[in-house]
Structure 1
Amino acid sequence: MKNSQEKNSYHHGDLKRALLDASIRILKEEGYKALSLRKAATLAGVSQSAPYRHYPDIESLYADIAEEGFIMLAERQRALRLKYKKRPLLLFREAGVSYVEFALEHPDLFRIMYGNQIESHLKYDSLVKTEDQTFKIIVEIIRDCENAGLIAEGNTEKVATSAWTMAHGVAVLLLGQQMMFRSVDLKQARKITKDLIQFLYTGLKA
């Protein structure tokens, strides 16, 4: 166990990073219900009072965790856009599938990103900015399809919203094992998502 001097040795940036890393590990291993400021502090190896330098309450920690989730999701979507830059229709499909996979790989992080643990995202400017930047990647993917003549131009943001909403709905139903997703494995989830995206694309074709 770290001694008191070691516990207080984190400088401003390191402490916050250590608490976020610890929190995400707790989410992955035990679920969001197990997360607390005290538990994050213990896992990060800092004093029980240390988190309060950055987080006055658990919701403010949730906000930073949600922002971290959107950063992870955005990096994933940017990598896909680079990989399939010459194949926009495949990119459109894979972006939706990747979103669902992200939710299934990080279920408790996903719940904090979109659940009611945060009363209002509007209280956290940095979180809202990161959310908007993540959405812009989807807009860019739709614009790639428009520029390739695959989708009719003129409603880019509405189409992006429709695509995101559909993928999100699939992810939520899968996480809750609801409706037609009660007994679906990852391979089946990919196929269902691809089929739904293809159905959406058919209605959007130029």
Structure 2
Amino acid sequence: MGVSISGAPQERIKGCLGYDRRMGSENAVSSAASTEAPVRAYHHGDLRETLMEAALASIAAHGTEKLSLRALAREAGVSPTAPYRHFSSKESLLAAIAEAGYVRLFERFESVVAAAQGDLESRLLAIGMAYLEFALEHPARYELMFGSVLADFSGYASLQEAGQRCYRVLYQVLEDGLEHADGSDLTATRLGGVVWAAVHGVASLMLYHRALHPTDDAGFVGASLWQMQSDPARALRTLFAGMR
């Protein structure tokens, strides 16, 4: 059983593993920033998006602590107060970047679920692979979405809603699939968080141990991480099969 996601997702995932990332300062080499859209010259009416793109590049290179609206304004060639017309603070800028990430992730989920053929496991695999691709292609944005920098979304209603929309795609897939499962006492509510946590765990392990080989870390953990890196689709299928 397998799911075809355009462009050989497994190969793309492997190709995304060539960046560096130090979680203490959330640093990454410039290759991580290159996966996001390049910073464009400022044009009238374009400043909000330009600031968000520049912020992502800065976060990938230097981490969130060194990010400042004043420096972004200088880079965009506008006055130091201009960014505040769009963002009340650095945190609100980070929240906007995270929200845009959830919108992109939602669109990916919708696309792969619509294209997936087959049973519940096939559709879950499509969502899981889309999630892994997103995390590895956009590590700086992913960290804002799921890391500790924006630990509290309560002050950003649209960000909360964007995140919930992503989860609702998974919930609906589970609800539809379990409805036709014979003799299953599982519910979408009970299983949804478990599935999300499992996929998120695989993504995190692949991000933090991108070059791990079984011989680098003897035993079960090293072998397991190598399996995830070399064949993420198989790893996800194994996880999902064990939940049923």
TM-score, with normalisation over the residues of structure 1? Answer: 0.78
CA offset digits 1:108-158 (Å, max 9, x no partner): 111111112124111111111111111001111212322443793651022
Q: Extract unaligned runs of 5+ from structure 1.
A: 1-5
Query: Cα distance, 1:80 vs. partner?
Result: 0.5
Please list the CA deviations of residues 50-107 of structure 1 after superposition, one character each: whole Å capped at 9, or x if unmatched: 1111222211111111111111111111110111154542121121122122111111
Q: Give me the whole-angstrom Cα distance separating, in 2, the residues matched to 1:151 and 1:25.
A: 50
Whether the 8 Å contact between 2:95 and 2:159 is mirrored in structure 1 is: yes
Describe the SS at the equivalent of 2:44. Answer: coil
Q: Which residue of 1 is the match for residue 200 of structure 2?
A: 168
Aligned to 1:115: 147
> 56, 78, 81: which is aligned to 1:46?
78
Q: Is 1:200 equivalent to 2:200 in the alignment?
A: no
Does the 8 Å contact 1:93/1:198 carry over to 2? no
Q: Which has the higher helix share?
A: 1
More displaced stretch, 151-160 vs 105-114: 151-160
CA RMSD of aligned residues (A): 3.1
CA distance in structure 1 between the aligned counterparts of 2:206 and 2:231, rounded to whole angstroms: 13
Q: Secondary structure at the match of 1:123?
A: coil
Distance (Å, rounded) in 2 between the aligned partners of 1:48 and 1:181 = 49
Superposed counterparts of 1:1-206, under 5 Å: 10-11=44-45, 14-27=46-59, 30=61, 32-33=63-64, 35-149=67-181, 152=184, 154-177=186-209, 180=221, 188-189=228-229, 191-192=231-232, 194-204=234-244
CA distance in 1, matches of 2:62, 2:199: 23
* Number of aligned positions between the proteins: 194
Question: Where do 4+ consecutive residues of structure 1 move more than 4 Å?
Answer: 181-185
**Cα distance, 1:172 vs. partner?**
1.6
Distance 2:183 2:208 in 1: 32
The one-character-per-residue Cα deviations of 1:26-45 (angstroms, maximum 9, x if unpaired) are 445x2544543234334444
- What displacement does 1:22 show? 2.9
Q: Tell me the secondary structure at the aligned position of residue 87 of structure 2.
A: coil
Distance, in Å, in 2 between the alignment partners of 1:119 and 1:126 is 15
Structure 2 residues not aligned, in runs of 5+: 1-40
| CA displacement 1:143-189 (0-9 Å, x = unmatched) | 2322443793651022111110011112122222288469968x952
Letter in 1 for 2:91: E
Measure, in 2, the Cα distance between the counterparts of 1:73 and 1:176: 21
Matched residues in 1 for 2:165 and 2:117: separation? 19
Tell me, in whole angstroms, the C-alpha distance in 1 between the residues paired with 2:97 and 2:183: 35
Which deviates more from structure 2 when the two are superposed, residues 115-124 or residues 69-78?
Answer: 115-124
Indicate conservation of the 8 Å contact 1:170/1:193, yes or no. no
- How far apart are the structure 2 equivalents of 1:26 and 1:125? 26
**Could you state the TM-score of these two structures normalised by the residue count of structure 2?**
0.67
Give identity over the alignment, percent.
Answer: 27
